Amino acid sequence: MELIVSLTINGLATGMLIFLLAAGLTLIFGLMDVLNFAHGGLFVWGAYTGVFSYAWSNSFLIGIIAAILTGITLGFVTERLIITPVYGNHVQQILITLGFMLVLQEMIKVVFGPNGVPVKVPTYLAGSWEIGNLTIIKYRIFIIVVGLILFSILQFILKRTKVGLIVRAGVMNKEMTQALGINIKRVFLIVFMCGAALAALGGMLMAPYSGVVYAEMGMEYAILGFIVVVIGGMGSFQGSLMAAILVGLAGSFMAYYVPFLSMAVNMILMVIVLIFRPQGLFTLAKG
């Protein structure tokens, strides 16, 4: 029983980190109809700038703030310079954002060096709780709580505020929203920057969880993010949360019970969904 609980907590923590990346992708695709393969680059830049700010200031909070600011800045640059010229063309979007992803990845090596950087969990989040024979790692619980809080905040903004109303209106009918006098381009930019900030925050939170950051991690987690978006349903915000949890739990249990399939399980899940429910498992949850 203790093993099941431990694997579940590990899977939930991993799922929440993937959700932060996938939520940004879902927002961007749902409103802007943009396939952004550079999202992983925003994730890894958030991780690196956050980690180095954390090391410099000895404050994990400052590291988180630095990561978010990095995400917002890179999100602005990416949307204005990379995405704007290719709106409406998915093939060009894939090619140009994938190329930009590689540029961001190589820039990490130039700025921070080619080797991975070890990261420690903050002292006040380190260690574990012992409940009988069960060991619960504090940082994993922290990630789960942060993920649920952010999901709740985003849900509130999207469903209970004027900004959320505009975003949802843009999802349903961009032309009508613009006809009502709303600057849809500005909405696009804000949504893209928010998605980038979520990715960068996910990168920073992932750093102590994995214990090391490296340039290639952006591509690895971007693939997971897209798998989650496909499983959850394109443009489905709640679906991304459920799919991220599903992927996290599947990876956690498979890594323990069937290790040789742990890397393939996510692809297998996506293929099964595409065959039997190509619109995604949770399409009705569209936010």
Give 218 or 32, the one with higher predicted confidence.
218
pLDDT in tens, 96-150: 999 999 999 999 999 999 999 999 999 999 999 988 788 889 999 999 999 999 9
pLDDT in tens, 221-233: 888 888 998 898 8
Find out whether 129 and 142 touch, Cβ atoms under 8 Å: no
Neighbours of 93 (CB within 10 A): 22
Find out whether 34 and 190 touch, Cβ atoms under 8 Å: no
Residues composing the chain: 287
Tell me how far apart the alpha carbons of residues 71 and 219 are, in angstroms, rounded to a whole number.
16
User: What's the Cα-to-Cα distance from 78 to each of 43, 99, 240, rounded to whole Å?
Assistant: 13, 12, 23
Tell me how far apart the alpha carbons of residues 96 and 98 are, in angstroms, rounded to a whole number.
5
Q: Break the chain into its structural domains and give their ranges.
A: 2-215
Q: What is the DSSP pairing of strand 128-131 with strand 117-118?
A: unpaired
Sequence letter at residue 203: G
- Tell which residue, 179, 196, 200, 178, has the closest CA to residue 187: 178
pLDDT of 284 > 70? The answer is: no
14-28, 153-167, 205-219, range with greatest mean pLDDT: 205-219
Find out whether 116 and 213 touch, Cβ atoms under 8 Å: yes
The DSSP letter of residue 114 is S
Q: Please tell me whether the overall predicted TM-score, pTM, comes out greater than 0.75 for this model.
A: yes
Q: So what's the pLDDT on residue 287?
A: 41
Q: So what's the pLDDT on residue 236?
A: 74
pLDDT of 32 > 80? The answer is: no
